[in-house]
Amino acid sequence: MELSHVDKMMAGIKPGDKIDFNSYGACDSAIRLGRSSSSAIPAVGTVLKVYPRYVLVKLKVARECVHWDSIKKVNGIGWPLYKKEMA
């Protein structure tokens, strides 16, 4: 996939949008720790800021960085770039 396509899709996300994703923990620390997708917890958060490759999402008491291919839904609509990892 070309990065220009990712950039175009990410531009459609705005602060205040609701994001469904699998939470691995704060930012990408879970990936660094070698956790698998089986340890993910489904979560819904509100977008605070959009970056070129990820969004900063506010949960009830925490913030988390969500990479573009980990977003499952935006405002209840399926995210076409979601990559489901197979165990």
Is 59 domain-assigned? yes
Is 83 domain-assigned? no
**In a 10 Å sphere around its CB, with 0-12 CB exposed, 13-18 middle and 19+ buried, how is residue 57 labelled?**
buried
Q: What is the pLDDT of residues 25-82, one digit of tens each?
A: 654 444 455 555 556 788 999 999 999 889 999 998 889 999 888 899 999 999 988 8
**Model-level pTM?**
0.76
Q: Are 17 and 75 in contact (CB under 8 A)?
A: yes
Give the pLDDT score at 62: 86
Is 86 domain-assigned? no
In the predicted model, is pLDDT for residue 15 greater than 90? yes
Q: What's the CATH number where 21 sits?
A: 2.30.30
Is 87 domain-assigned? no
Q: Total domain count for the chain? A: 1
Residue span of the structural domain in which 61 resides: 3-78
Give the pLDDT score at 58: 94
Is 84 domain-assigned? no
